[in-house]
Structure 1
Amino acid sequence: MLKEFKHHIKTNFPLLLQRPFLVACSGGVDSVILVHLCAQLNLDFSIAHCNFKLRDSASDADEESVRNLALQLNKKIYVTNFDTSGYVSKNKVSIQMAARELRYAWFAKLIEENNLCTLLTGHQADDNLETFLINLSRGTGVDGLLGIPSKTASLSRPLLPFTRAQILDYAKLNNIIWREDKSNQETKYLRNRIRHNIVPELKELHPTFLQNFSNTQTYLQETNILAKDYIRLLKKELFISKKGITEISVQKLLSYTPLKTYLYALFSDYGFTEWQDVANLLTAMSGKQVLSRTHRLVKNRENLLLQELKEPNSDVYLINKEQDILDHPIHINLKEVADIEKPEVTTIFVDKSKLKFPLVLRKREEGDVFYPFGQHGKKKLSKFYKDIKLSVVAKEEQWLLCSGSAIVWVVGIRADNRFKVDDETSKILKIKLLK
């Protein structure tokens, strides 16, 4: 196994041969063997152990065992204790989720503080099969069937090609001591029920079941790479980015079959999960939207608009009479001038005496009206937005410069007639939007 592991590291994890890294060690057989294999290859690593204080003296014995292992191998060790039960109560999560969140946050901190290249965990082939079955039982897409990735940006799992049987044989052959967590035998946990009741039956079906499963996952991963390449090309064709908003043609989306499969492939990376809602959005009225935790999809006439969710901003910004520049949230320059220059969409000229200071920069409010420059009479702002075909998202992002409750400028789009320069004007104020 050591020879295979050495070849595997050289071929697939060459960075481990060049830079120091961290190994997570619980004291169980998988992580202990991982530590021993890395030590046998003279790799530069430290050990990290989490004591979750969930099994009384057994948890402390695990900690002592890992400390002794580090001492035996002359390796630096990091140990931390967690109030896992307190975290569960405070955050309303399961014990398993609490332990996961606590340990990975701590591992990330260790890696950053000590300039380590990655974290190694002891996940192996049987873990991969168990994860596959868990995902299958809960319902999943292709990503869930791919199992545990061997590498991510912050994690490496070099034991995935090796079975639990291989690891146990190596441990026994080399007289390596490890700790057994008795909770791993309790079938009240889904993973343990699969491990003890289902996986043995599957292995009975065929003597090389686990290897066949591993090969199948490799084929799935290769097929998934082809699919992702296709989706990447499709997004390049469909997704048109404009000022932080992505526009997607509804007509083009409706031409793809099976529709929900395409919607999943195109939008799952943005946190969407309710695919019927997304499909319904294609034929909904303008203004309807579907939210994920990070993004929203908005129907806007013939398109969907994809936008990252931002913190709500209800702030109002004031510009005093003596102020000549506003830096945030947009850049506006104010300057008295003698004459009107050639008009630009980013610049307006107003009669300063008609303004009531401080000027107010805000977003639209219900019932807003203004008197569009170059037109007669007043118009509801909502109707003006509709006439110029401003998208649903753009309406929400649009800033208004106001004098009291009166709109002076739909910034960057249209000024208000009431503040225009005329024959009676004595002071001309130039207001420019700086991009």
Structure 2
Amino acid sequence: MPQHLVTDFSAYISRQQLFDPAQKILLAVSGGVDSIVMAWLFKQAGYHAGIAHCNFQLRGAESARDEAFVKQMADTLELPLYTTQFDTNAYVAQHRVTIQVAARELRYNWLEQIRAAEGYAYIATAHHMQDSVETALMNFTKGTGIAGLHGILPKQEHLIRPLLFTEKDRLVAYAALHNILYVEDSSNITDKYTRNFYRHQVIPRLQEAFPGAVKNMAATIERVKEAELLYQEALEKHRKRLLFVEGNTWKVPVGKLQKTVPVQTIAWELFRGFGCSPAQTQQVLQLLESDSGRYVETATHRIIRNRQWLLITPLATQEAAVVVIEPGQSHIHFGGGQLQVRRQERGTTAIPVAPETAWLDAAQIAWPLILRKWKQGDYFYPLGMPKKKKLSRFLIDQKLSLPQKENVWVLESNKRIVWIIGMRVDDRVKITPKTKEVLSLEFSR
């Protein structure tokens, strides 16, 4: 019954330990029935609260009406009020996002600024039981792991949702019983937005067939939340067994993943953190039976079969195409690491041999030097070999993985490769008994 809503409201806050009654809570209020009733419930229950309202300037006079209405309500309830106006369309154009994403980012960034600056413990939003059910259904139809089925959580960092215990009908009834006014947002009427389609079409049809559908699904969501705790505990054991990191590369042993049960679920949970979609998870599992070199590219990473491992590497960022090294430069930073450059007399001491250092006959070097990533078609004359060799073949012989190959740099002089950085010098610029001056280059990551 609506008259018991305040009691149930306080009981839910206490049961979920949403906040300490002595703390101040910032209420996100749009002017619609949900947020307006939430503000009245906070006042009736005696909690300390302030009201925050965002005007997104998307609905002309209606947006201005909502702002004026919320100001009047804050005066009635004698609660502090914070308002702001956003040029949402400009934000959409600048950041190339949808209006819904823009409004969400603008809203929550501003609310957090007010919360922190004004000493509020939490931001409260007016999501209720139907909102949580809608979210779970939307996630279910889009494809999700168990985490997507727990609906909207009552508490996340500085966000709380104190109305998740109740259906919208009770909020509307409470407003009618106490003659509480509110405004309607015309954008909530259209089915243009995905959530509104579920709200106006899917949920009502379900309730026609099963009158208790929303409450039943909400109860299931609560059970899913508890099951998720057990699920995450088991999943963490699999992560420790299957996921290893070396530098910026993650590694999954092929043999262990093949023997994992249930492999579909574990694979989805392992790889979705690397930008992998449900469909791509199936492609990743196919890599378990493929040859080395095959890969799946997700939104953020590349997952590569390399012998007995799946290697997970971030997608390469754009780097300078070339680095030009002029005479006199001694220290060079580039995408693959650093180079120290020195010129010195040949001397009589033996030249140490190490892949990280190149010793070149300075007389055979033409300036400027060019530092760049290798590319298909490159070739050089490996030290000690009289014939040229394609660099692609050389890298295969070195048994490099695809991520390692992608990070190979070369040094050019007069359009010929003189050093595969950190690997092999070109035979044409090697030091000989006739060498008088040496150019030494030391590579470090």
Shared fold (TM-score greater than 0.5)? yes
The aligned residue for residue 244 of structure 2 is 240
Secondary structure at the aligned position of 1:115 is classed as: helix
Structure-2 separation of matches of 1:82 and 1:90: 11
- Is 1:333 aligned to 2:346, yes or no? no
Structure 1 residues 18 and 401 mapped into 2: Cα distance closer, same or farther (>3 Å)? Answer: farther
3-state DSSP class of the match of 1:166? helix
Q: Could you say which residue in structure 2 is the equivalent of 1:304?
A: 310
Is the 8 Å Cα contact of residues 56 and 88 (structure 2) preserved in structure 1?
Answer: no
Distance apart, 1:134 and its partner CA: 3.3
Q: What do the CA deviations read for 1:159-217 (whole angstroms, capped 9, x no partner)?
A: 21222233334434544322234554556766455445654565577776544433321
How far apart are residue 357 of structure 1 and its match?
1.4
Paired residue for 1:382, among 365, 388, 392?
392
- Mapping 1:247-258, distance limit 5 Å: 247-258=251-262
Q: Which residue of 2 aligns with 1:282?
A: 288
The verdict on how the C-alpha distance between 1:432 and 1:18 changes in structure 2, with shifts beyond 3 A counting, is: farther
Mapped partners of 2:196, 2:426: distance in 1: 70
Question: Secondary structure at the residue paired with 1:74?
Answer: coil
CA distance in 2 between partners of 1:161 and 1:232 (Å):
30
CA distance in 2, matches of 1:370, 1:19: 71
* 1:48-67: CA deviation from partner (whole Å, max 9, x where unpaired): 2234433x544332222112
1:76 matched residue in structure 2: 81
Shift in alpha-carbon separation, 1:294–1:103, aligned structure 2, 3 A:
same
Q: Distance in 2 between matches of 1:12 and 1:323?
A: 64
- AA aligned opposite 2:434: E
Partner residue, 1:127: 131
Q: What is the deviation of 1:88? A: 7.8
Which residue identity lines up with residue 177 of structure 1 in the other structure? Answer: L
Partner in structure 1 of residue 160 of structure 2: 156
Q: Tell me which of 49, 61, 68 is aligned to 2:65.
A: 61
Query: Contact 1:51/1:60 (CA < 8 Å) preserved in 2?
Result: no
Contact 1:348 1:415 in 2 (8 A): yes
Q: CA deviation at 1:33?
A: 2.2
**1:361 shift after superposition:** 1.1
- Aligned residues of 2:53 and 2:83 also touching (Cα < 8 A): yes
Aligned to 2:401: 391
Structure 2 residue aligned with 1:219: 223
Secondary structure of the equivalent of 2:116?
Answer: coil
SS of residue paired to 1:262: helix
Distance 2:195 2:141 in 1: 11
Q: CA deviation at 1:250?
A: 2.4
Once structures 1 and 2 are overlaid, which stretch shifts more, 201-210 or 313-322?
Answer: 201-210
Q: Please say if residues 187 and 193 of structure 1, whose CA atoms lie closer than 8 Å, have aligned partners that are also in contact.
A: yes
Superposition TM-score, scaled by structure 1 size: 0.85
Instruction: Identify the range of structure 1 (341-350 vs 122-131) with the bigger mean alpha-carbon deviation.
Output: 341-350
CA displacement at 1:122 relative to structure 2: 0.8
Tell me how far apart the structure 1 counterparts of residues 414 and 15 of structure 2 sit (CA, whole Å).
69
2:423 is equivalent to residue 413 of structure 1:
yes
Could you list the runs of 5+ residues in structure 2 that have no partner in the other structure? none
Q: 1:223 Cα deviation (Å)?
A: 1.9
The answer as to 2:113 corresponding to 1:108 is no
What TM-score do the two structures reach when normalised by structure 2?
A: 0.83
Aligned residues: 430
Contact 1:16 1:43 in 2 (8 A): no
CA 1:119/1:113 → structure 2, altered by over 3 Å: closer, same or farther? closer
**Offset at residue 368 of structure 1 (A):** 1.5
SS in 2 for 1:327: strand
User: Which structure 1 residue ranges, 5 or more long, are not aligned?
Assistant: none
User: What code does the residue aligned with 2:313 have?
Assistant: Q
Q: How much does 1:395 deviate?
A: 0.4
Q: Match of 2:175?
A: 171
Residue number in structure 2 paired with 1:2: 6
Identity %: 30
Distance change >3 Å, CA 404–CA 8, structure 1 → 2 = farther
- Aligned-residue Cα RMSD (Å) equals 3.3
- Following superposition, the deviation at residue 336 of structure 1 comes to 2.9
1-side partners of 2:255 and 2:201: how far apart? Answer: 49
Asked if structure 1 preserves the Cα contact closer than 8 Å seen for 2:54 and 2:107, the reply is: no
Deviation at 1:128, TM superposition (A): 1.2
Q: Using the TM superposition, name which of 358-367 and 132-141 deviates more.
A: 132-141
Q: Residues 140 and 234 from structure 1, CA distance in 2 versus in 1: closer, same or farther, beyond 3 angstroms?
A: closer
Deviation by residue 1:132-167 (Cα, 9 ceiling, x = unmatched):
333344454433322223333464322212222333
